[in-house]
Amino acid sequence: DQQVKQNSPSLSVQEGRISILNCDYTNSMFDYFLWYKKYPAEGPTFLISISSIKDKNEDGRFTVFLNKSAKHLSLHIVPSQPGDSAVYFCAASRLRGGADGLTFGKGTHLIIQP
């Protein structure tokens, strides 16, 4: 049973526009949520995180929104740039730093069109 779901395998967005990537989770014990960016044959790179006591966290062009009641989070990238083209993974954990491991979604392939 998938505890973290990214229902869009791919997303195409024009350069300069907003990219919105969505993630749903089922385990109410998750308290920490992270977004990673990944290129093929490389390790994931951390982008941004949010804990369950917040509903929004911002870092430059990246903003993560958390709706605990809906068990839903989203990553907004504004404005989208060609270098943002990659696979984005949503991850969740019960403990800070994923101390007992992170649970990942299957990823969304973001394609930024010129």
Partner 1 sequence: DGGITQSPKYLFRKEGQNVTLSCEQNLNHDAMYWYRQDPGQGLRLIYYSQIVNDFQKGDIAEGYSVSREKKESFPLTVTSAQKNPTAFYLCASSDPGNQETQYFGPGTRLLVL
Instruction: List the one residue from 86, 105, 110, 112 that touches partner 1 (CB under 8 A).
Output: 105
Number of residues interacting with partner 1: please give it, by CB under 8 A: 28
Q: What share of the chain is helix, strand, coil (3-state, %, to 5)?
A: 5, 55, 40
Q: Mind giving me the DSSP string for 14-27?
A: ETTS-EEEEEEE--
Considering only 24, 25, 30, 49, the residue that binds partner 1 (CB under 8 A) is 49
H/E segment holding residue 82: none
CB of 90 to partner 1, least distance (A): 9
**Nearest to partner 1 of 52, 74 (CB atom):** 52
Token digits of residue 34: 């992270």
**According to the binding rule CB under 8 A, does residue 89 interact with partner 1?**
yes
